[in-house]
Structure 1
Amino acid sequence: MTPLLTLENVTRKFGDLMAVDSVGFSVPKGSIYSVIGPNGAGKTTLFNLISALFPTTSGTIDFDGHPIHRAKTHHLAGYGIGRTFQNLAIFSHATVVENLLVGLHHKLSATPVSAAFFWGPARREEIKARQQVEKIIDFLEIEHLRDIPVGLLSYGLQKRVELGRALAIGPKLLLLDEMVSGMNSEETEDIARFVLDIREELGITIVMVEHDMGIVMDISDRVAVLNHGSLIAEGTPAEISSNTAVIHAYLGQD
């Protein structure tokens, strides 16, 4: 399958600390790809490199023909990359609709004058944006929550709103960082279903950093395993679950 995201010899050092060491893999278009590993393995650092939160020390990251290892973070939405965060990054006092509209901000092009008077292009853009938001609200089954401040929702529903905001970007690639962390089993099952639907119905490629091995093994097409910043295994869930190096890394054996 054609790769959408390719990492080659990606390395990131912080002083003398080697956080990510020569990691390379490709994510096929239309796949669900998971990155796993013990605590401190370098997963979040790798995600932050893909998200252009900081540059690589060496190596390259290519997304859909764009080299992004030196890109500015605010350019990624325009390329078609959306992301959720391990720690919630929402506007708690804003409503569900208002939070989702933030994801469409990079698509708005009305001038300050037309926006101030809300006519012409500004009005048309607002109508289109709200139509897109309504589609996402319907997709994520949160119609009854649309006008409620997000801070009043349960943790699982807040994570769903954050997922909706990432979808509002209109991504080709969706990065999910510990999406089900802190959720109960019912909330986790809901997210797993939505992730599958996002791939099947919306055609969006998904890369997950995840600790929940149940969801990883159930819905991933391929899995990459990091340990101490290095890639120690890559393959299908079945191949990973029987890999000796992976078993040793998780059990803490030499």
Structure 2
Amino acid sequence: MSALLSIERVSKRFGGLTAVSEVSFAVPEGAIYSVIGPNGAGKTTLFNMISALFPPSEGAIVFDGQAVHRARTHQLARLGIGRTFQNLAIFSHATVVQNLLVGMHHALKANLLSAALFWGPARREELAARRRVEEIIDFLEIEHLRDLPVGLLSYGLQKRVELGRALAVGPKLLLLDEMVSGMNAEETEDIARFILDIRDELGVTVVMVEHDMGIVMDISDRIAVLNHGSLIAEGTPAEIAADPAVIQAYLGRN
């Protein structure tokens, strides 16, 4: 299975602090890949480099055969990368449909005049975007919420809307940052099911940073473990669970 995303000896320094040190791993196309580690391990820094929020100090990040470590954040959607955030980044006063349409913005190419007149290419693009949004709403089982302001929804449903907006990008790669943080057991199970369906039904490769070891071990194909900015283990869930370095650094057992 070929790698869709390759992290190649990536490091990040902030002044005299090295947050990530020479990390390398490859994410196979079609995989659910998790990055775990204790607080301060460098997970978020690594994720932010993959998301082009800032460039690595050293090394390369290659997505679908193209180096993206010097790309601008807004370019990633066009390349096929979608992301959710640990802290909700939704428009609370807008409806579910309106929030999802934001994810389609990169695909709208009509000129200002046709857009203003809602004519020709602009009309076709708008109708195609709305059809895609309805497909996502159906996929995430939120049809009954489509016209409600997102701010009125429960936290778990708001996170589901954010997931839908990332899917509206039409990604090949979906980056999930602490997707189930703050969710109850039922909400976590729902998200785990959707992540599996995103991979199996939509063919999207998933990389997630996650603290919930239950979901990590249940649905991941492979796992990378960071500690103090360095990669200390990489492998299948069974291999990671049995790795002495992981047990000591992350699971807190000797």
TM-score range, shorter chain: over 0.9
Please give the residue correspondences for 1:7-156 in structure 2 after superposition, counting only pairs within 5 Å: 7-156=7-156
Quick one: distance in 2 between partners of 1:251 and 1:220?
17
Corresponding residue of 2:220: 220
1:207–1:24: structure 2 CA closer, same or farther, 3 Å change rule?
A: same
Quick one: distance in 1 between partners of 2:136 and 2:100?
8
CA shift at 1:253, angstroms?
7.7
SS in 2 for 1:240: helix
- TM-score where L is the length of structure 2: 0.99
Quick one: distance in 2 between partners of 1:121 and 1:228?
51
Quick one: distance in 2 between partners of 1:225 and 1:250?
8
Q: Deviations over 1:41-84 (max 9, x none)?
A: 00000000000000000000000011011111110001000000
Same amino acid, percent of matched pairs: 78
2:59 partner amino acid: G
CA shift at 1:251, angstroms?
5.1
Give structure 1 regions of 4+ aligned residues with deviation exceeding 3 angstroms: 251-254
SS in 2 for 1:93: coil
SS in 2 for 1:76: helix
1:146 partner amino acid: R
2:38 partner amino acid: P
- TM-score where L is the length of structure 1: 0.99
Q: Deviations over 1:128-185 (max 9, x none)?
A: 1000000000000000000000011000000000000000000000000000000000
Quick one: distance in 2 between partners of 1:216 and 1:78?
28
CA shift at 1:250, angstroms?
2.0
How many aligned positions are there?
A: 254
Quick one: distance in 2 between partners of 1:108 and 1:91?
20
Runs of at least 5 residues in structure 1 that lack an aligned partner in the other structure: none
CA shift at 1:117, angstroms?
1.1
2:156 partner amino acid: G
Q: Does 1:3 align with 2:3?
A: yes
SS in 1 for 2:69: coil
SS in 1 for 2:201: helix
SS in 2 for 1:110: coil
